[in-house]
């Protein structure tokens, strides 16, 4: 599991260069994924995790939905660009909010996110 890897490193520079929308391409060339889970001993990415503490967001297909209004400009567009480039690269991606990062019970340390990563 690797934090804050550049998008172009994970999906490939050529794939990002092929994005048609110029502003989306520039964003993807400059941004990072929050966390990338790779196959053990190979470095092949299998899951991208984006944390959304701002809007309590989640995925519906390749669309980013929020529970709370977001004041950050283009937040939906930016997250959806990351999701599209992952789909194009055939890398699974999820957006998780705070509930998925909270402990399942007080005695343990497991979270819903641990279960998601464990399935990969």
Say what the pLDDT of residue 92 is: 92
Of 52, 22, 41, 37, the closest CA to residue 86 belongs to: 37
Would you say residue 45 has pLDDT above 70?
yes
Say what the pLDDT of residue 104 is: 65
H/E run at residue 48: strand 45-51
- DSSP code at position 103: B
**pLDDT tens-digit profile of 50-108?**
887 555 555 556 566 665 555 656 777 888 899 999 999 999 998 886 655 566 677 77
- Return mean pLDDT, the chain: 81
Contact 27, 101 (CB under 8 A): no
Say what the pLDDT of residue 38 is: 93
**CB-based burial label for 47 (10 Å; 0-12, 13-18, 19+):** buried
């Amino acid at each position: 599991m690797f934090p804050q890897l550049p998008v172009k490193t994970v999906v490939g520079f050529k794939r990002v260069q092929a994005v048609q929308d110029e502003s989306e391409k520039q964003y993807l060339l400059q941004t990072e994924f929050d966390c990338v889970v790779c196959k053990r001993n190979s470095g092949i990415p299998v899951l991208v995790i984006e944390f959304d503490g701002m809007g309590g967001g989640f995925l519906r297909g390749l669309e980013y939905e929020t529970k709370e209004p977001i004041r950050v400009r283009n937040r939906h567009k930016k997250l959806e660009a990351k999701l599209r480039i992952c789909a194009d690269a055939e890398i699974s991606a999820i957006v998780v909010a705070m509930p998925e990062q909270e402990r399942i019970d007080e005695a343990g340390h497991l979270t819903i996110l641990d279960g998601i990563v464990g399935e990969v």
